[in-house]
Amino acid sequence: MSEVFEGYERQYCELSVNLSRKCNSAALLADGEPKKQQISELKVGLDDADVLIRKMDLEARSLQPSLKATLLAKLREYKSDLNKLKKEVNKLTLTSANQVAHDLESGMMDPHAASANQRERLAMSTERLDQSSDRIRESRRIALETEELSVSILGDLHQQRETLLHSHNKLHGVDDAIDKSKKILTSMSRRISRNKWIMGSVIGALILAIIIILYFKLFHH
């Protein structure tokens, strides 16, 4: 997996968990400056999350097709998670304690309904927080598996390198043996040629001696 993508993914998961916690906390606050501050921080965090999503998308599309498909599928889950967060923040922005109080006074909403609504938002935020935590654990597991695979590949490559070096040394030894054999054969060839000249000279001398002997025997008797 791309180290760049993993870095963006880690940042996004941590940011998503933080935003889920803030969203959960803001849902329990009454209208006022603290809640407005929480909502403002949530919007800034959502903007940062959007930037990380775009960076992950660009990085994923620059990778090999097989890896790109896997990362884009994961990215779609992150986009869906981010959209849920945005909806929750929009709800927080639109909902106000004054409106709830007005509804209670007008009989449109009772305290039990308001409490149930808060519990529902709290449950949704908790579920989203659990999902983000699961994704972080899964990302860490994949990172560890990738690291183990990389170590294994490096070990295999080192072993193959040692094998190639050993083979190279053997070939170098064979080359030396061939060179020595060539020198021996060349020396033997030279000796054979020299011996041929010597043998030819001896035979020629013998023939000449025989001719001389025959000459003296035939012409001096």
Give the confidence band of 168 by pLDDT, cuts at 50, 70, 90: confident
CA nearest to 40, candidates 13, 22, 24 = 22
Amino acid 188: pLDDT = 86
CA nearest to 128, candidates 78, 56, 75 = 78
pLDDT digits (tens, 9 = 90+) for 173-187: 777 778 888 888 888
State pTM to two decimals.
Answer: 0.46
Please indicate whether residue 124 or residue 68 has the higher confidence score (pLDDT): 68
Give the confidence band of 23 by pLDDT, cuts at 50, 70, 90: confident
Dist. CA 61–CA 208, nearest whole Å:
96
Contact 88, 23 (CB under 8 A): yes
